[in-house]
Homo-oligomer: A and B are copies of this chain.
Amino acid sequence: MEGKRILVVSAHAADYVWRTGGTIAKYIKHGANVDVVVLSFGVRGESAAQWKKEGATYDTVKQNRLEETTKAAEILGVKNIEFWDLPDYPMRPYLTEDIRKRMVKKIREVRPDIIITHDKKGKDILNPDHNDVSEFVFECSIHSNSRGVIVDNLPTTKQMRLFGFEPHQTELSQFVPDELVDITEVYEQKVAVMQCFQAQHHLIQYYTERANLRGNHLRRISGNQTYKYGEAFSSFFPIAGDELV
């Protein structure tokens, strides 16, 4: 993982934490460079708990999400995180040509070996923003690889690997794991980072148990009994390399 460059694109502030926080922490621990782009603070779509507070406004909710997420990034060891502050619910109208160019530029600057974002093979049954972002990131990656798409004289990228993290209700969203990553050695970090989001206490339990579930799957599929906790990803492309893996 040493020296790998990873770009994570999250539709809402905490999406990436629940589903790929452990993998991020592990890659950082082993010397990878991880950049995170948070497209929106999820003020409308994923802040129900914050809106229940007396006197909540768009700005107080946003400020609250910013604080939580910044703290979460610190715990994970993420140094490069950007908040693009797009509206959400819906997000599609705000994924404009300008935002597209900005994302192509970002990809060319980071030059990632791996992009991690929302699942593309299935379709999130509960969150249309997630599907839009998955499609958007995918298209920007294609454009970034294309010599004819010129942005600020940045050189084109080579085809990188793209992965989708889990939606909330996997079976209803046709999510099928292509790769399971053991996160046992950073599990305490994942637990700690989830604690940043106290308002969503039901998600803390949910994703704690999911880490166990994926750990169970890891052991069953690999035969390796040291795997305790995991995260699951779909792969946008087949693996192309020197041997079977």
| Contacts from A to B (Cβ < 8 Å) | 1, 23, 26-27, 42-48, 51-52, 61, 89-90, 93, 97, 100, 114, 116, 125-128, 135, 138-139, 142-143, 146-149, 158-161, 163, 168-172, 175-182, 202, 205-206, 209-210, 212-213, 216-218, 220-224, 227, 230, 232-233, 236-245
CB<8 Å pairs between A and B, sample of 7: A44-B143, A45-B146, A51-B148, A90-B143, A127-B142, A180-B241, A230-B240
With A43-B148, A143-B89, A221-B159: A243-B181 Cβ-Cβ less than 8 Å: yes
Q: Is the interface of A mostly helix, strand, loop or mixed?
A: mixed
Q: Which residues of B contact A227 (CB under 8 A)?
A: 240
Given A143-B90, A148-B48 in contact, is the A240-B212 Cβ separation under 8 Å? Answer: no
Residue of B nearest to A43 (CB): B148
Known contacts A44-B149, A125-B236, A180-B238; can you find 15 more A-B pairs with CB under 8 A? A43-B148, A44-B146, A44-B148, A45-B146, A46-B148, A89-B149, A90-B100, A126-B142, A126-B220, A128-B142, A172-B237, A178-B238, A181-B244, A209-B209, A230-B240
Q: Given the known A-B contacts A142-B126, A148-B43, A177-B171, are A240 and B216 also in contact in the complex, defined by CB atoms under 8 Å?
A: no
Q: Check B89 against A93 for contact (C-beta < 8 Å).
A: no
Expressed in whole angstroms, the Cα–Cα distance for A139 and B91 within the complex equals: 11
Q: Which residue, of A127, A171, A175, has the highest number of chain B Cβ atoms within 10 A?
A: A171
Q: Is the CB–CB distance between B44 and A238 below 8 Å?
A: no
Complex CA distance for A160 and B28, rounded to whole angstroms: 30
